[in-house]
Amino acid sequence: MISSKREMLRIFFSSSVSKLGVALLIILLAFSIYALVAFPPDYGKLVWNNPKAWENYPKSAPPSWVNFFTQSKLFEHKILETHEPVVFKSPDGTIKKLYYFDLDYDAGEFPKFFSMLMKDVRYWKSPPIITLKLMRPDGKTVELTSFIVSSPREGEKPPYSRYEKEPFILKIDSDVNVWRSVSSFLKESYGLSFSPSEIGKDPERFIFGSPIGSNFSSPLKGKYRFEVSVTTYDERDSVGDILLILGGSVYGLLGTDVIGRDIAIGVLLGFPTSLFIGIITSVIVTLIGCLLGIIGGYFGGKIDEVTQRVSDIVYNLPLLPLTIFLIFLMGSSIWNIVLLLIVFGWPGLTIVTRSIVLQLREAQYIEAAKSFGSSPWRIIFKHMLPQVMPFIVAQMIFYVPTFILLEAALSFLGLGDPSLPTWGQMLELGFRNGAIYLGLWWWIIPPGVMIVLTAFTFVLIALGMEPVVNPRLRTG
Amino acid sequence: MGLARTLAIRAVNLLLVLLLVLLLVVVIIGATGTSDRILMSIVRQEVSTYRQAISRTITNPEALEKAVETYRQELIKAYGLDKPWYTRIGDMLKRIILLDLGVSKSLQTFSGSNKVVDLIMERLPNTILLVTTATVLSFIIGLLVGVKLATAIGSKLDRALTYFSAISYALPTWWTGIIFILVFYFYLRIFPPGGMYSIPPPEDTLARLLDLFWHATLPIIVLVLATVGSNIYVTRTVVMNIAQEDFVLAAKAKGLPERIVRWRYIARVAAPPILTQLILGLAGSIGGAILTETVFGWPGMGLLFYQAIVSSDEALILGLVYVFTLVYVIARFVLEIFYVMLDPRVRI
């Protein structure tokens, strides 16, 4: 038998399997904590599962690092955000705010689309005038559009609020005014005549390209600067966020799914849910299982009879079909899933703990303790538990991946908690949308790798525990 | 006969498990009103058949409606829908056991029937084919590799296996399946993405068999990969523990050839605990089948289960839970027979 806790720890950490497992566990916990701190608890419901929140993102775009492997560089999706504007005040009370957005363009393809978003415009006297200009790397400037925010309606009182609920969206692809300005820009700068409707077929090609002859075939690389100017007539007038969105064909660290959601965020949010389900279920199952096993094994009699019968039956049920059936009837909330995993999970440990306790009960030192008149609970906690503990801990760790995988499987079958983003649900959506048959690997591989890695971490720790529990496996 | 008696007791125990599951299921669907819905849909089905049959003889629409309504009321009485659910427990049990659960809402067999019993019976052999092949393969590989490794504990191969079995345990079958499809279908195009036969299936029997084999390869590999790691690991640990026993040492000291010691002295004793592992893994294999069939579009009960969940088909789900439990109980019993034959000590 192992003498001390320190000795157990030494044996545990002597194997490389345990070291790797613990290192991975620390990483998993770090990601989980980061996800919990960085995202609000209702993020899943409000943002993640809300397609509107992802409108500005490219759909099914691969990660941006695929550019390392492609010959012609793909354009990475850009969302340019507002910085502090440069403000000019005229003596006549006119205030001009200039917002600058810088873009370093080095892709071999044109942006897929280009749009401008503006939120929360508020004015007191006259409606503000807004213009959008683009300064190109070749020194030329295109004035793309200029418009006036809608005037006060009859009976409306100042301040006049615009674009409060729905942001104003200017889409270059469907805005005739922009096409006209581009058409006249081409005439003035290059002497080329393109009709607005010709430009409307692919306006980005003309805005971000320089012609060879009259052919716009490749984008003009270099530093671009967008200028949004807002002219207002009152000190109190204000403009909320302005966003410029340049549609790319690659996005972020892990790409996007069919709705446009950032897969990196989904993967990150999966950490706490997965670990929570695995660990909480495993701890409760271990507590219930061991308690019943110890009580049954030590006291025997009717309690033992009942727990043994029940655990025997529950242990012999086909777990997945029944869980699916019950989740289907009860509804797929995370608590129902945890509850069912507990209900079906405890008997294994009860059976094993009971058999160990049965052996221990006959040991001489237990008999000695009994003869001193120790109470049963004192014997259990003082003399038996320390013996059973390493085994129980090993089992508890070994159960974590089981529950993580079961939750993932339920999610994959469409029975996951819809308010929480989980890896299983990401894979389910990908599978249902045919991501495998379309080769959208960035949607299929990362969530799965995370499931495997999380389960693997606990399997490694459990394997590392084995020499502690079973001395025959010690190698030196 | 000790053997027959032992087996009879095991059979009764397993039947009890089956009955208990059924009872639990019936109580749950009764209390949640699901059984009412299933029976009502059977009633609706029969009423509409009845309406079609009598509409030829009764032409007066009012009389027709009246006759149909009377028939409907009769059926509701006959099915006990006018009484609370717990009065129907016996009847519902019988229905589930005979799979008399009416029709599926949205699914059909290949011959066009939408009865729950036909649907399940059509898919059952496909699942059995897949799971049995995979389980047997995984068992054989586990045994061969495990026994070999037990004599080389701590070697490089053994350490590699430790990692492999950890990964195999941590690999969700369904995700492995998805990755296999991505690699072997999407990129390499050497295996089909799913299904059981090509469309249209080959005419010739041999070509048909080969086609089946071609389609079954990936799902079987996936199922084997999911279980083989723990099979190898358990065999290795059991065999290693036994190899350290005194009687093995004695056999070696006698100078018996390694092969005889390994297979007659060690394997004989190791067989029952290894078989136990197989028995314990059975429930997992059935779960694995549900997921693997879903991923590979293998037309078995697992895929049917997924389709039933997606279309919220209560009657079908109920029937499938029963048949899955039944298959599991029967498979357990078969393994228990082996177990009792291998280990005479468990005979009563």
How many other CB atoms are found less than 10 A from the CB of residue A185? 21
d(CA A361, CA A297): 8
CB < 8 Å to A437, chain B: 181, 185-186, 193
CATH number for A318: 1.10.3720.10
Q: What is the pLDDT of residue B348?
A: 63
What is the ipTM for the molecules in this complex?
A: 0.84
Measure B336 CA to nearest chain A CA, in Å. 13
Measure B288 CA to nearest chain A CA, in Å. 9
Partner residue opposite B309 with nearest CB, options A316, A326, A415: A415
Q: Is the pLDDT of residue B139 over 70?
A: yes
Give the tens place of pLDDT for each residue, B256-294.
998 888 888 888 888 888 888 888 777 778 888 899 999
Tell me the average pLDDT across A144-153: 88
Mean pLDDT, rounded, of chain A:
88
Q: Is the pLDDT of residue B254 over 70?
A: yes
Q: Is the pLDDT of residue A2 over 80?
A: no
Q: Is the pLDDT of residue A301 over 80?
A: yes
Q: Are residues A374 and A459 in the same domain?
A: yes
- A451 with B287: Cβ contact below 8 A: no
Q: Are residues A362 and A446 in the same domain?
A: yes
Q: How confident is the model at residue A454 (pLDDT cuts 50, 70, 90)?
A: very high
d(CA A321, CA B294): 13
Give the tens place of pLDDT for each residue, A31-44.
999 999 999 988 88
- B306 with A413: Cβ contact below 8 A: yes
**Domain-located, residue A253:** no
d(CA A245, CA A10): 56
Give the tens place of pLDDT for each residue, A368-400.
888 888 888 888 888 888 888 888 888 899 899
Q: What is the pLDDT of residue A3?
A: 56
Q: What is the pLDDT of residue A471?
A: 63
**Domain-located, residue A59:** no
Residues whose CB falls within 8 Å of the CB of residue B237, separated by 6 or more in sequence, listed in order: A473, B150
Partner residue opposite A320 with nearest CB, options B25, B181, B290: B290
- A452 with B175: Cβ contact below 8 A: yes
Domain boundary among A190, A220, A246: A246
Tell me the average pLDDT across B121-134: 92
Q: Are B166 and A463 in contact (CB under 8 A)?
A: yes
| Of the listed ranges A84-93, B280-289, B322-331, the one predicted with least confidence | B280-289
| pLDDT greater at residue B124 or residue A1 | B124
**Domain-located, residue A174:** yes
Q: Which residue of A has its CA nearest to B292?
A: A409
pTM of structure: 0.84
Tell me the average pLDDT across A88-107: 89
**Is the Cβ of A27 closer than 8 Å to some Cβ of chain B?**
no
* DSSP-assigned beta bridge partners for residue A227: A100, A133
Domains by residue range for chain B, with CATH: 2-97 (no CATH), 116-347 (1.10.3720.10)
Q: Which residue of A has its CA nearest to B193?
A: A437
Tell me the average pLDDT across A96-114: 90
Q: Are A115 and A169 in contact (CB under 8 A)?
A: yes
CATH number for A94: 2.60.120
Q: How confident is the model at residue B1 (pLDDT cuts 50, 70, 90)?
A: low
What tokens appear for B316 in the block?
């079908």
Partner residue opposite B179 with nearest CB, options A448, A463, A473: A448
Q: Are residues A150 and A205 in the same domain?
A: yes
CB < 8 Å to A332, chain B: none
Q: How confident is the model at residue A135 (pLDDT cuts 50, 70, 90)?
A: very high
Q: Are residues A198 and A280 in the same domain?
A: no
Q: What is the pLDDT of residue A476?
A: 40
Looking at the structure of chain A, the number of domains it has is 2
Give the tens place of pLDDT for each residue, B178-209.
999 999 999 999 999 888 998 888 888 899 99
d(CA B40, CA B70): 15
| pLDDT greater at residue B75 or residue B284 | B75
Q: How confident is the model at residue A473 (pLDDT cuts 50, 70, 90)?
A: low
Q: Which residues constitute the domain of residue A208?
A: 64-246
Mean pLDDT, rounded, of chain B:
86
| pLDDT greater at residue A231 or residue A166 | A231
**Domain-located, residue A280:** yes
| pLDDT greater at residue B4 or residue A179 | A179
Domain boundary among A202, A218, A246: A246
Domain boundary among A246, A278, A308: A246
- A444 with B244: Cβ contact below 8 A: no
Q: Are B166 and B200 in contact (CB under 8 A)?
A: no
B-interface mutation test, from A308, A413, A465, A473, most B Cβ less than 10 A away: A413
- A321 with B167: Cβ contact below 8 A: no
**Domain-located, residue A130:** yes
What tokens appear for A140 in the block?
């030329």
Partner residue opposite B174 with nearest CB, options A409, A439, A456: A409
Q: Are residues A226 and A106 in the same domain?
A: yes
Q: Are residues A33 and A96 in the same domain?
A: no
Strands (E), A90-175: 95-105, 114-118, 121-123, 129-135, 141-148, 160-162, 168-171
- B240 with A412: Cβ contact below 8 A: no
Give the tens place of pLDDT for each residue, B309-320.
888 888 888 899
B-interface mutation test, from A459, A461, A472, A473, most B Cβ less than 10 A away: A459
